[in-house]
């Protein structure tokens, strides 16, 4: 009988019910989890797990970059794209020469972005700006499907468990 990991099931449920901004927050949290997993693997001397975790973080960043809408997002989208490029470069460097400081700095930066997006979502909800929500939903229309594929792809933390 196959049983899924309860944490994975919860994350998948959260993705299905999330707003577009909520999906972005989930993906940032996924990056933070992956980087922290890489840090733990670094401490344990597990190069394979560290590599998989960093690769997963890079893939999620690539996905976030791919859904940016430069026409509607303007400077914000360009700034996020530049940030993603820098962070992917740092993660590639960390693959080769990992340090605790670099890993924690990157995790912290993405945690700050997640918190900023959470605040943006709360502000948007308070304003109850229907047209802003509609515009955002349209610009990220493919995000739920892509986010579902990325959340839970890091083994073994997010994999279903065979029992």
CATH number at residue 70: 1.20.120.340
User: What would the pLDDT profile of 58-107 be if each residue is shown by its tens digit?
Assistant: 999 999 999 999 999 899 999 999 999 999 999 999 989 999 999 999 99
Domain membership flag for residue 95: yes
Domain membership flag for residue 126: yes
Domain membership flag for residue 104: yes
Domain membership flag for residue 91: yes
User: Which domain, by its residues, includes 143?
Assistant: 14-154
Structural domain count, the chain: 1
pTM: 0.72
Give the model's pLDDT for residue 122.
84
Dihedrals phi, psi of 3, to nearest 5 degrees: -125, 140
Domain membership flag for residue 20: yes
Which segments within the chain are labelled E, that is strand?
2-3, 161-162
Other CB atoms within 10 Å distance of the CB of residue 144: 17
Count of all residues that appear for the chain in the document? 163
Is the pLDDT reported for residue 156 higher than 50?
A: no
Domain membership flag for residue 114: yes
| Reduced DSSP (H G I as helix, E B as strand, rest coil) percent helix, strand, coil of the chain, to 5 | 80, 0, 20
Is the pLDDT reported for residue 123 higher than 70?
A: yes
Is the pLDDT reported for residue 135 higher than 80?
A: no
């Amino acid at each position: 009988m196959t049983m899924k990991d309860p944490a994975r099931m919860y994350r998948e449920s959260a993705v299905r019910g999330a707003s577009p901004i909520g999906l972005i927050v989930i993906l940032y949290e996924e990056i933070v989890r992956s980087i922290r997993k890489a840090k733990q693997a670094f401490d344990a001397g597990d190069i394979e797990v560290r590599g998989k975790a960093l690769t997963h973080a890079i893939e999620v960043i690539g996905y976030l970059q791919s859904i940016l809408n430069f026409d509607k997002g303007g400077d914000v989208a360009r700034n996020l794209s530049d940030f993603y490029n820098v962070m992917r470069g740092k993660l590639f460097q960390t693959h080769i020469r990992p340090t605790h400081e670099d890993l924690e700095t990157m995790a912290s930066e993405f945690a700050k972005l997640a918190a900023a997006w959470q605040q943006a979502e709360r502000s948007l909800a308070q304003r109850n700006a229907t047209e802003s929500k509609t515009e955002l939903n349209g610009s990220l229309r493919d995000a739920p499907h892509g986010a579902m594929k990325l959340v839970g792809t890091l083994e073994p933390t997010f994999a279903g468990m065979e029992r």
